């Protein structure tokens, strides 16, 4: 962590501001797949942006703007490299109920995962190349590539 990080007893301080998104940012994820260990941000402007370090200024520059959602983007997850995708993938979940999966080489989705009936609010990389998604529709899904392998339904208990 930096010299001003919490592990040294200090306070965090603003390192830089990144102009780019046109509306508020809803999620970020560290992206070790990018050159120089950058990160991905997602926004209500319907985009995801890959940022990489710009060492001369100790800031970051936008490497790629990814689009594909028809509504707000609310979650992001980095999928590690596999034999099929040796550079890994970026998954984004949105208020359009979909998950877009991107490579680092293309600003348009490689494929789109459909099946949720409400906002995809949570994404996580699972074992064996799986992607886990959570939605406001009270379901969790386990995806392998472009196929839904399992749906977990949460029962909502009503107060008496």
Q: Which of residues 120 and 157 earns the better pLDDT score? A: 120
As a whole number, mean pLDDT of residues 115-142 equals: 96
What 3-state class would DSSP assign to 8? Answer: helix
Q: Does 30 or 3 have the greater pLDDT score? A: 30
Q: What is the pTM assigned to this prediction?
A: 0.85
Percentage, residues of the chain above pLDDT 70? 89
Domain residue extents for the chain = 20-119
pLDDT of residue 1: 38
Residue 9: pLDDT band with limits 50, 70, 90: low
55 pLDDT exceeds 90? no
């Amino acid at each position: 962590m930096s010299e001003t990080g919490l592990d040294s007893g200090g306070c965090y301080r603003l390192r830089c501001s990144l102009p780019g998104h046109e509306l508020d940012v809803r999620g970020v994820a560290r992206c070790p797949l990018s050159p120089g260990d950058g990160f991905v941000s997602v926004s209500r402007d319907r985009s995801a942006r890959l940022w990489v370090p710009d060492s001369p200024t100790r800031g970051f520059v936008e490497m790629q703007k990814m689009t594909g959602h028809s509504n707000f983007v609310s979650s992001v997850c980095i999928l590690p490299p596999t034999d099929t995708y040796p550079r890994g993938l970026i998954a984004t979940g949105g208020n359009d109920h979909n998950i877009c999966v991107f490579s680092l080489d293309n600003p348009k989705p490689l494929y789109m995962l459909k099946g949720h009936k409400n906002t995809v609010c949570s994404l996580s990389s699972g074992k064996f190349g799986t992607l886990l998604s959570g939605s406001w529709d009270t379901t969790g899904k386990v995806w392998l590539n472009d196929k839904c392998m399992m749906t977990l339904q949460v029962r909502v208990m009503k107060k008496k």
